[in-house]
Amino acid sequence: MTPSPRLQLPTLGPILRGAGNGARRFPLTIVAAVVAALAAFLAVEEIGSEDLHARLLLTATLGLPLFTGLRLLAGSWRWGAGARWGVDALGVAGLVAFYVAWPHWPEPLQAARYFQVSAALHLFVAFAPFVGSAEGPGFWEYNRLLFERILAAAILTVVLYAGLAIALLALDQLFGVDVPETGYLRLWAVIAFVFTTWFFVADLPDDARGLDTERDYPPGLKVFTRFALLPIVAMYLLILTVYFAKVLVTWQWPSGWIGWLVSAVAVVGIFSLLLVHPAADDPGDRWVRAYARGFFVFLLPAIVMLWLAIWQRVAQYGITERRYFLLVLSIWLAGIAVYQLLTRAKGIRIIPASLCAVAVLTFAGPWGAYRVSERSQVHRLADIFERHGLLVEGRVRPAAGDAVPFEERREVAAILRYLAETHGYSAIAPWFGDTLAAIDTAGMGRRRSATRRAQAVARWLNVEYVEAGRSEGEAPFRFAASDAVGPVPVAGYDVLLRVTEWRAGPAVPPVGWAVRGVRPGASLVVYRDGAVVLRFAVDSLVRRLRALPETPADSVPADSLRLRVRGEGMESVLHVRTMSGRVVGDSVRILSFAGEVLIRGSARPR
β strands within 449-586, DSSP E: 474-480, 495-499, 513-518, 523-528, 531-537, 562-567, 570-584
Q: Which residues contact 191 (CB under 8 A, 6 or more apart)?
A: 157, 160, 161, 164
Q: What is the pLDDT of residue 444?
A: 44
Rg of the Cα atoms in the chain: 32
What Cα–Cα distance (Å) separates residue 315 from each residue in 320, 376, 407? Answer: 12, 11, 15
**Whether the bond into 520 is cis, omega within 30 of 0:** yes
Following CA atoms 331, 335, 340, 344 in sequence, which dihedral angle do they give, to the nearest 10 degrees? Answer: 180
pLDDT of 62 higher than 90: yes
What Cα–Cα distance (Å) separates residue 567 from each residue in 186, 459, 527, 596, 602? Answer: 58, 45, 12, 18, 10
What Cα–Cα distance (Å) separates residue 66 from each residue in 34, 152, 163, 208? Answer: 15, 21, 31, 17
Q: Tell me, what DSSP letter sits at residue 487? A: P
Are the C-beta atoms of 573 and 560 separated by less than 8 Å? no
pLDDT of 102 higher than 90: yes
Question: pLDDT tens digits for 250-276?
Answer: 777 666 677 778 888 888 888 887 877
Q: Which residues contact 225 (CB under 8 A, 6 or more apart)?
A: 272, 275, 276
Are the C-beta atoms of 373 and 319 separated by less than 8 Å? yes
What residue type is assigned to position 274 of the chain?
L
Are the C-beta atoms of 481 and 578 separated by less than 8 Å? yes
pLDDT of 290 higher than 50: yes
CA count, 13 A, side-chain hemisphere, 132: 9
Q: Which residues contact 253 (CB under 8 A, 6 or more apart)?
A: 247, 308, 309, 312
Confidence grade of residue 445 (pLDDT, cut at 50, 70, 90): very low
Q: Tell me, what DSSP letter sits at residue 227? A: I
Whole-number Å distance between alpha carbons of 13 and 358: 44
Are the C-beta atoms of 259 and 310 separated by less than 8 Å? yes
Q: Tell me, what DSSP letter sits at residue 128? A: G
pLDDT of 540 higher than 60: yes
Q: What is the 3-state secondary structure (H, E, C) of 298-322?
A: HHHHHHHHHHHHHHHHHHHHCCCHH
Average of pLDDT values for 413-418? Answer: 93
pLDDT of 385 higher than 90: yes
Q: Chain-wide mean pLDDT for the chain?
A: 84
Are the C-beta atoms of 225 and 46 separated by less than 8 Å? no
CA count, 13 A, side-chain hemisphere, 44: 17
Question: pLDDT tens digits for 162-218?
Answer: 999 999 989 888 887 888 888 899 999 999 999 999 999 988 888 777 776 766 667
State the angle between helix axes of 27-44 and 12-25 in degrees (0 to 180), rounded to the nearest 10.
100
Q: What is the pLDDT of residue 505?
A: 61
Q: What is the pLDDT of residue 567?
A: 75
Nearest to 137 by CA among 145, 414, 441, 269: 145
Are the C-beta atoms of 404 and 395 separated by less than 8 Å? no
pLDDT of 87 higher than 90: yes
Question: pLDDT tens digits for 309-329?
Answer: 888 889 889 999 999 999 999
Whole-number Å distance between alpha carbons of 521 and 507: 18
pLDDT of 333 higher than 70: yes
Phi (first) and psi of residue 333, to 5 degrees: -60, -40
Where is mean pLDDT largest: 419-423, 476-480, 558-562, 602-606? 419-423
Instruction: Tell the burial category of 497 from Cβ atoms under 10 Å away from its Cβ (0-12, 13-18, 19+).
Output: middle
Are the C-beta atoms of 156 and 366 separated by less than 8 Å? no
Residues in the chain: 606
Nearest to 59 by CA among 88, 39, 89, 84: 39
Nearest to 56 by CA among 84, 8, 96, 12: 96
What residue type is assigned to position 332 of the chain?
W
In terms of pLDDT, which residue wins out, 463 or 280? 463
Confidence grade of residue 356 (pLDDT, cut at 50, 70, 90): very high
Burial pattern 556-568, b for ≥16 Cβ within 10 A else e, equals beeeebebebeee
Whole-number Å distance between alpha carbons of 430 and 432: 5
Beta strands 495-499 and 587-601: pairing type?
antiparallel
Question: pLDDT tens digits for 572-601?
Answer: 999 888 888 888 877 888 888 888 899 888
Q: What is the pLDDT of residue 443?
A: 44
Are the C-beta atoms of 471 and 465 separated by less than 8 Å? no
Q: What is the pLDDT of residue 547?
A: 77
Whole-number Å distance between alpha carbons of 167 and 161: 10
Q: What is the pLDDT of residue 380?
A: 95
Domain extent listing, the chain? 12-213, 219-363, 370-472, 475-601
